Amino acid sequence: MAAQPSLQKIAENVSYLQQDMAKVGLLVDRLDTTIDKLADISNNVSNLLAVHETKLSAQEIISKQTVDLVEKRRVETDDKLQTIHARISSGEKELADKIDTQYDEIMFELKEMRRESTEQHNKLSSRITTMEKWMWAVVGGSGVVGALITIAIRFIPA
């Protein structure tokens, strides 16, 4: 009977092993499912990473283009500002030259007007002096004629 208990024990052990193998089989099936799901998730993450990498690359390109465009616009603006500054400076110089020229012309005209005014004043003064001399000569002559008439009237018998 010693063989019997050991056979029975072996049968029990085999039964436990079969149960354990069934459980291990279920675990292996679950692990296979988990591995498949992890593989799917890994593929999805890889695809997601690829999409994000593409988006990041595109964003870097756009960012670089934006930086280049901003730099280009800055250079254009600097050039335009220099052009405007040069125009203002040359306009300022031209305006100053015109003002100086007009100032000189105005001063010349004022001097010419002063000279003509002085000349005209001297002519009028000379004419007035001449007229005053004639007026006083006439007044003096009238006085003399009046005095002579008065003296003559005294000598005429009435």
pLDDT tens, 122-138?
999 999 999 999 999 99
Task: Read off the pLDDT of residues 45-74 as tens digits, 9 standing for 90 and up.
Answer: 999 999 999 999 999 999 999 999 999 999
Task: Report residue 140's pLDDT band, with 50, 70 and 90 as the boundaries.
Answer: very high
- Residues 88, 12: Cα–Cα separation, whole Å: 109
Task: Calculate the alpha carbon distances from 136 to 62, 113, 133, 139 in Å.
Answer: 106, 34, 5, 5
- Residues 128, 135: Cα–Cα separation, whole Å: 10
pLDDT at 1: 47
pLDDT at 5: 67
Letter string b/e over residues 10-32, b meaning 16 or more CB atoms within 10 A of that residue's CB: eeeeeeeeeeeeeeeeeeeeeee
pLDDT at 35: 93
- Residues 35, 41: Cα–Cα separation, whole Å: 10
Question: Cα angle vertex 77, ends 76, 81, to 5°?
Answer: 120
Task: Read off the pLDDT of residues 81-123 as tens digits, 9 standing for 90 and up.
Answer: 999 999 999 999 999 999 999 999 999 999 999 999 999 999 9
pLDDT at 84: 93
- Residues 146, 30: Cα–Cα separation, whole Å: 163
Q: Spell out the residues 6+ positions from residue 151 whose beta carbon is closer than 8 angstroms to its own.
A: none
Three-state DSSP at 65 gives helix
When the pLDDT of each residue in the chain is averaged and rounded to a whole number, the result is: 91
pLDDT at 158: 60
Model's pTM, two decimal places? 0.44
Question: Is pLDDT above 90 for 157?
Answer: no
- The whole-number average pLDDT for the span 24-45 is 91
